[in-house]
Structure 1
Amino acid sequence: MTRLLTWTLSILWNGSTYNQTTTDSARLISASGNYSLTPPGISSFGGRGMVSSATFTLANHDGRYSADGDGAMAAYMANNGTYQMPISLVASIGDGTSVQLFSGVIKTVREQSPTPTQTGIVTIDARTMEDMYLNRRQSTTVTAFAEMHDESYTEADIMARWLDDAGLTDGQYTIDPGLFRIPYAWLDDESLVEECWLLAAACGGRFYGDANGDLVYENATHWLKTPHTTVST
C-alpha cells in the first residue's frame, strides 16, 4: 500500500496574522533542517544552547520573490523586509496524519537568477523561535526581583516570568514544573534566551524552541515521566 505525502509551507509575508498566511507549497523544491540543543562538542548541560535552523528552496520562475519585481511581494522582499517573519512546514500522509516539521522565523531570503539549465529560485534560511528573542536585552526591576525572592520562585517560575515580561503568552511557551527554588535571579541588560539556557542547564534541564514554534523548558525528570517510544534494531 502506497502513501501519498503532501506538505504545506506557510509563510506569513505580511507579518500580521496567520489568517493571512500565503501558502507557497506548490513552489517548494526542497527543504532541509537541523535540530540541535547545543553546539557540537558542548555538553547538553553546559549552559550554551543553539538555535536550530531550516532551509527552504522555492521556484521563482516568474519573479514572484524578486525584490525588484512589480508584484505585491516586492515590498516584502525589499530591504530585508522578511526578517523574522513566521514560517512553518507541515507534512501529511494519506491516512490523514500530519506532522509539524518546523515552525520558526525567516533569517534571510537569497535570490538566484535563472540560468540556461536552471529556473530562478530563492533560498529561505529560517531559525527556530529562540532567534526572535536571542538578541533582545532585558533587565529585571527591583520590584520583580524582590517578588521572585519572597515568593520562592523555582526555575520554572523565573523562566515564565522572564518570558511574560518579553511579551509572550502561555500559548507561546511550555514549561515543566520547577524542581529547585532559586532565591536570587535577575536579568541586567542580558539576553533572555541565553539566560534561560544557563538556568535550565544549572537545574539539569534544557530550554529550546520546538517544531511547533513554542519555547520549551524540560526539567531534569522530563524523560522519566513523559511517555515516549523507542526504536531498536
Structure 2
Amino acid sequence: MAVPTSIDAMLAEVMAELAGLEDPKARAVNERHGDDHGVNLGKLRALAKRLKTQQELAVRLWGTGDSAARLLALLVCRPKAFGRDELDGMLREARTPKVHDWLVNYVVKKSPHCEELRQAWFADPDPVVASAGWALTTERVAKKPEGLDLGGLLDIVEARMKDAPDRLQWAMNHCLAQIGIEHPAHRARALDIGERLEVLKDYPTPPGCTSPFAPEWINEMVRRKDGR
C-alpha cells in the first residue's frame, strides 16, 4: 500500500482494500453468527498489522458505519485515546456481535474509563448494552473480584437469566460460570442455579469443546485447574 497524502486518501484506499477482501463464503459464515460483513478475520488482522496504530484513521473508519471497517478500527486504534462518552456512544452503535465483542475486549478493557462504564452499562435497560456491563463484570470476577458482591450477582442471575434476551443471557451465564469456577465458596450455589434454570443445557457443542451449560462448564474447568 502506497502512503496516501491525506487522511481522506488513506481512508478511501483502506476502504477499497476492504472491499477487495469481500468473500461471499466468509459473508455466509459471518451472517450465520449475526455479523454483516464478508471479510476473513485473518486477512483483516493482517491488514491491521500492516497499518499499525493510527488513531485518526481508526476514528474515520468507525465513522463509516461499515462493520469490517469498524473491526479494523478497533485493531488500529489507541484504546486510551477515547473518552468515556465516546466509548459509550460507540457501544450503543455496535449492534453486531463481533463489533460489540471486539469493542469491549480490545478497547474498553484497556480504557481508564472501564470501571465507570462497567457500572453504567450493567444496569442499562438496553439488553445489548447491559451485556457489555456483564462481560466486564465477568472479567472482574476472574481477575479483580475485590469489592464485588458475588452473592448479589448470583441473586440477579437467579432472578433474571432464564428470561433474558439471548446476548444478555449469554453474558449472565458466563458470569455465573466464572463465579463457580473461581470462587469455591459460591460454587455449590452457582451449580444449583445452573441446574435449576437449565440455560444453554441443550446448546450444540462440538466434540472436544466445553459446553456453555454452566454446571458442565464449571465442573470441567475446576477439574482442569485441579489437574484431575
> What's the TM-score, normalizing by structure 1?
0.27
Return the structure number with greater helix share. Answer: 2
CA radius of gyration, larger in? 1
Compare relative contact order (CA 8 Å, sep 6+) and give the higher one, 1 or 2.
1
The structure with the largest strand share of the pair is 1
Q: TM-score, normalised by structure 2?
A: 0.27
